[in-house]
Amino acid sequence: MNYQIDTTTERIFSTGGIALVGKICERIGFATNTSALVHPSVPRSLIGLFCMGRTRFEEIALFRQDTLFKESFQLPYVPAKETLRLYLERIAVQPKLLTEEVDSAVCALLQRSTLSKVYTEHQSYLPIDVDTSPLDNSKSNKEGVSRTYKQYDGYHPIFSYVGTEGYMLNCELREGKQHCQKGTPGFLKESLERLDRSGITGPKLFRLDGGNDSQDTLAQLCGREDVFFIVKRNLRREQREYWLSIAQSEGELSYRDEKKAVYTGFHTGKSSTEDESAMDIIFQVTVRQIGADGNELLFPDIEVETFWTNLSDPPETVLQFYHDHGTSEQFHSELKSDMNVERLPSGKFAVNAAVLQIAMVAFNILRFIGQSALVADDYPVQTKVKRKRLRKVIDDLVRIAVKFVHHGRTVILKLWYRDPWWRCFRKLYEKCCVM
């Protein structure tokens, strides 16, 4: 069939979900008109762009005449790209003001969110995953861009996520060449303080990779009774044969077949520092007799994984908790791929740091919309998933066609009556209005 393409004077928008985003911004009080920030409409406009998967300042031009975008964020006008650049640079000069604004918004949203825990037979823990993830900004001359451990030029920010849903708790932009451990104790302190301000109580489980195997990291996490941790150890100069002997004498044989044997257990007596008392070490030692090519090995291949922890749960449970830490890589992917927050838009480090802070608020807004949709009675797709990926949130609930209608003193958003998402969309908007 051949179509004729024509225009209409009716106000039809393809991004009706911006109404949800704008209402959440209003309810959590992010960058309101009474904010101390210079030109608070600039951060709100960036939230709108990020929630549509757009990060370039130039893309704001697509919404200069968009009435829905303007009214959803209560903007006097939609700023131009030059305005975004100019006022972001002014905001970046006073990072404390933006940090306070972001902190207040993140805490308010976490208070209204359901954060799922991980469970053992006798206890439950709220997981907090801390990890770094390089942002590829190669072939650019941006301030702070340098060689990362992934062997490309970019930034090397650190993130922390809370709950199995993956709400972003904190983030910090860093130069690409910076080691992951540098500044991490201070970052952990900020994350703990933000949890306290959010009113989140109960046992918390921090999970960190081997790059953060440091005395300072452990000292920061050991100071509170409600904080538990699993930090992967570096073997350094320890011999694998040494750990095999410990595994065979102190551990349990948890798996064996013709190719390999796996020992797990805990070992007490090692100290994380010379001055500290002994701390439990969970270990998993794998002995392979047959290689990947199926040939029998002349000497067995020994793989050793060890972890610092203050958990009293069985080694198998601790190991499973740490392996679940790998899910945080999906959270990184959602930020970098789904929201397209990887090649940061400015050439100035301070501005890009501010952009990443604002992107954190947008990330959590999309997460809130996705998780709220999953538990809605009118969710149109039968699914067993427990976390809706942000790309699906953008495709299903942000990029949704609406007709913008003024009737008397009322503004109505009309959706096609056979749109499978319209009931879910209405329920979500009602929830956002009272959150």
**pLDDT band per the 50, 70, 90 thresholds, residue 400:** very high
pLDDT in tens, 54-91: 999 999 999 999 999 999 999 999 999 999 999 999 99
Q: What angle do CA 63, 135, 305 make, to 5 degrees?
A: 140
- Per the model's pLDDT, the better-predicted residue between 376 and 69 turns out to be 69
Neighbours of 290 (CB within 10 A): 15
Cβ–Cβ contacts within 10 Å for residue 228, how many? 24
Rounded to whole angstroms, how far apart are CA atoms 331 and 177?
22
Mean pLDDT computed over 135-159: 95
- How confident is residue 377, by pLDDT bands cut at 50, 70 and 90? confident
State residue 292's pLDDT score.
83
Q: What is the pairing mode between strands 124-132 and 158-162?
A: antiparallel
pLDDT at position 270 over 70: no
pLDDT digits (tens, 9 = 90+) for 100-122: 999 999 999 999 999 999 999 88
Among residues 170, 161, 162, the alpha carbon closest in space to that of 116 is found at: 162
* pLDDT at 348 > cutoff 70: yes
Q: 292-308: b or e for each residue (b if 16 or more CB lie within 10 Å)?
A: eeeeeeeebeeebbbbb
Please provide the distance, in angstroms rounded to a whole number, between the alpha carbons at the two ends of the chain.
47
pLDDT per position as a tens digit, 196-234: 999 999 999 999 999 999 999 999 998 888 999 999 999
Alpha-carbon gap, residue 258 to 252, rounded angstroms: 18
Do the Cβ atoms of 266 and 280 come closer than 8 Å? yes
Q: What pLDDT, on a 0 to 100 scale, did the predictor assign at position 275?
A: 47
Amino acid letter, residue 184:
T
Tokens of 305: 């994984």
Alpha-carbon distance of 213 to 419, in angstroms, equals: 51
The beta-carbon contacts of 359-362 under 8 Å, at least 24 apart in sequence, are 359/46, 359/50, 359/55, 359/335, 360/102, 360/106, 360/168, 360/170, 360/171, 361/30, 361/47, 361/102, 361/105, 361/106, 361/109, 362/21, 362/46, 362/47, 362/50, 362/51
Side chain identity, residue 274? E
Q: How far apart are CA 164 and CA 128, in angstroms?
A: 9
Q: What DSSP string describes 59-79?
A: GGGGGTT-HHHHHHTT-SSPP
pLDDT for 385 beyond 90: no
pLDDT average, residue stretch 265-278: 62
CA dist 283 to 233, 299, 347, Å? 10, 22, 45
Is residue 27 scored above 70 in pLDDT? yes
Say if CB 397 and CB 369 are below 8 A apart.
yes
- How would you classify residue 167: left for phi > 0, otherwise alpha for psi between -120 and 50, otherwise beta? beta
pLDDT digits (tens, 9 = 90+) for 274-333: 444 457 899 999 999 888 888 888 888 999 999 999 998 999 999 999 999 988 999 999
Question: In terms of Cα–Cα distance, which of 206, 146, 142, 218 is closest to 181?
Answer: 218
Q: Note the pLDDT of residue 51.
A: 97
Average pLDDT, the chain: 92
pLDDT digits (tens, 9 = 90+) for 401-425: 999 998 888 899 999 999 999 999 9
Whether 353 shows a pLDDT value over 50: the answer reads: yes
Task: Kindly indicate the confidence band of residue 376, based on its pLDDT and cuts at 50, 70 and 90.
Answer: confident
Enter the pTM of the model.
0.94
